Structure 1
Amino acid sequence: MPIALDCRYRPGGAQDRLPIRAAHLDYMIANQGRVLHGGPSLVDGELVGMYLLLATDDPGQADDFLAGEPYARAELFAEVQRTLFTGYLPEPRRGFLAELRRDASRCVAAAD
């Protein structure tokens, strides 16, 4: 399972990132093989942080990634939430969601 990182800027962090944005982008380019998906986090159109899906289930590798990440090194984040991500869409294999649906129906019937 990939590790999801939800990194939220500290007050002023979005603005403070601008002088080191090129270094951040260089880091992301250099580490494309370690990132499955990533980009800015917006709330009501306002930049609040970044979200990354790392190609690892090892918390130590996620920590190593962040230790080298320029925004993290500059202490721009007030909070980083790390969770394991289980993706169902797109389906990991054809019919996967239908199988889940059948299992859910059986659980409801067993509870009755």
Structure 2
Amino acid sequence: MTTKRLGPHPRNTEAVIHEETIYFPVITAKDFSPSVTKQTRQVLQQIQERLTACGTDKYRILSATVIVSDQRFFDEMNGVWDNWVPWHDPPVCTFLVAKLAPEGRKVGIQLTVAQ
């Protein structure tokens, strides 16, 4: 069994690869002043970059936990998510409402992906 950690930080890593499964933390927008749509696009861009860096793509996402900081954001976030996620091969999804730190973050997405 092999485990590899990518981009370790004091409290977290950018990804953990165990065997052929990649675990990502909750990814949030770097600029959290824009709209929910813009934050969701930023998050999906970061996800795309991390998937590419790990040698995989969105078609291999096994599960996603999508978090919004206010339930009123779901429709706006889903408009972006639904256009990005492979409609014929969607992952298992959990949608949650939770506070995201720091203040101003509206969307976060956590993934488990096959390599």
TM (norm. structure 1) is 0.31
Structure of greater relative contact order (alpha carbons < 8 Å, 6+ residues apart) = 1
The structure where helix makes up a greater share of residues is 1
